[in-house]
Structure 1
Amino acid sequence: MIKKVLIILTTVVLLSACATHRPSNVNDLCSVLGDEDWYQAALDSQEEWGTPIHVQLAIMHQESKFNRTIRPDMEWFLGFIPVGRPSDAYGYAQALESTWETYIRSTGNWNAKRDEFDDAIHFIGWYTFNSHKKLGISKWDAKAQYLAYHDGWGGYKRGTYRNKAWLVRVADKVKRRSLEYARQYKQCRPQLDDSIRGWF
């Protein structure tokens, strides 16, 4: 009986560890994708939607630093009265509830959750694919993809980002992060590929 209880407890602990994986270094793509499940999810999203892994991860880095439960900061009146958050963005991709619902209806991914990495990166892949389809933005253009991601397809089409110098600076950061991630990925891709091939 004790042996069975220990086995169950060990399994629960291992599953919890996998579910709450957090990269030790969010600035290093090799560290971010060190978990085999995360790498496989990133590959699957890239294969389905065509947006390179390094672009998807650069967007996710900017949005959440890979924190699964992050939300926009609470806003305060007079410094101590909470008045709510500026939006209902949540999770790895900081997806809005309404946009997430559109994604679910579009893909049929009915069990998707914003705080699950595989669902969040699939969402980013889907979003960037649609930015390419609707707006003609290259899937490799991290800067323009981020501007459309932040301001929405309609906002990007209207050029709302042109009046937001701060947002353009952030998008430039995403571009630089994407290029750095691409460089890192080239170096560690053989090891990452080996990690998901297994021993067979």
Structure 2
Amino acid sequence: MSVRKPLAALVLAGCGLSACTPSPPAHPDDLCSIFREKRGWYHAALRQEKKWNVPFSVPMSIMYQESGYHSNLHTKRTYILWFIPWGYVTTAYGYPQAKTDVWRDYERANDTSASRESFADSLDFINWYITTTKKQTRVPVTDGMRQYLAYHEGWGGYRRRSYRSKPWLMTVARKVGARANVYAAQYTQCEKALRDHGFWSWLF
């Protein structure tokens, strides 16, 4: 009798579902450290900057604010009788904390099937949202603070200036804008070192 187990079963037995979830970067405040640790993210960011013409410092800053680079993050749970878990406050999920309806709009607009647990897909979503924000509100793609306000409030909310009644949100948005500027400055210091030096750099 064969004792060979399916590969999926071996993987699950070896690490468990939680352990197999990609870990966030060790130093999320340092873009150079992020890209040195996660080379796949670096290449995805380069490709998408070329595709969308959006500096990746802005979507990366938004992603950091939304999920802390956690791939399977949910919003807070709701409860029945204060102790029985029953769903979540919103459908926001994954790296971009995108709600299901907006995520489906993105998939339809780009004729794609994507995952909010994929870094590349999530970065693509945020870039799509940023460029759509520019079309609808004329906010420059380089303006991390106002782009975040539109990302958080939605395009309609941004046009209504709903953020004016939320001083806490203005504080967070300024933080996102400042981080985008810091990320951009950091990248100028490591851009040359991060460049590919042969085939193996795509793997590590």
Return the offset for 1:189.
1.0
**What is the root-mean-square deviation of aligned Cα atoms in Å?**
2.6
> Where do 1:49-68 residues align within 5 Å?
49-68=52-71
CA change 1:197–1:181 in 2 (3 A) is farther
Alignment correspondent of 1:126: 128
Return the offset for 1:175.
0.9
CA change 1:20–1:156 in 2 (3 A) is same
> Where do 1:55-94 residues align within 5 Å?
55-76=58-79, 80-82=83-85, 84-94=87-97
Q: Which amino acid aligns with 2:157?
A: G
Aligned residues: 188
Identity of aligned residues (%): 40
Partner of residue 181 from structure 2, selected from 160, 174, 179: 179
Q: Secondary structure at the match of 2:152?
A: helix
Using structure 2 for the length normalisation, give the TM-score.
0.83
- Given the alignment of the two structures, is residue 158 of structure 1 paired with residue 157 of structure 2, yes or no? no
Any gaps of 5 or more consecutive residues in structure 2? none
**Is contact 1:40–1:196 with CA below 8 Å preserved after alignment?**
no
Return the offset for 1:100.
0.5
Distance 1:185 1:18 in 2: 29
Alignment correspondent of 2:195: 193
Q: Which amino acid aligns with 1:91?
A: G
CA change 1:141–1:82 in 2 (3 A) is same
**Is contact 2:27–2:33 with CA below 8 Å preserved after alignment?**
yes
Distance 2:168 2:94 in 1: 23
**Is contact 1:51–1:140 with CA below 8 Å preserved after alignment?**
yes
Alignment correspondent of 1:37: 40
- Given the alignment of the two structures, is residue 100 of structure 1 paired with residue 103 of structure 2, yes or no? yes
Distance 2:98 2:138 in 1: 22
Return the offset for 1:46.
1.2
**Is contact 1:36–1:195 with CA below 8 Å preserved after alignment?**
no
Return the offset for 1:76.
4.7
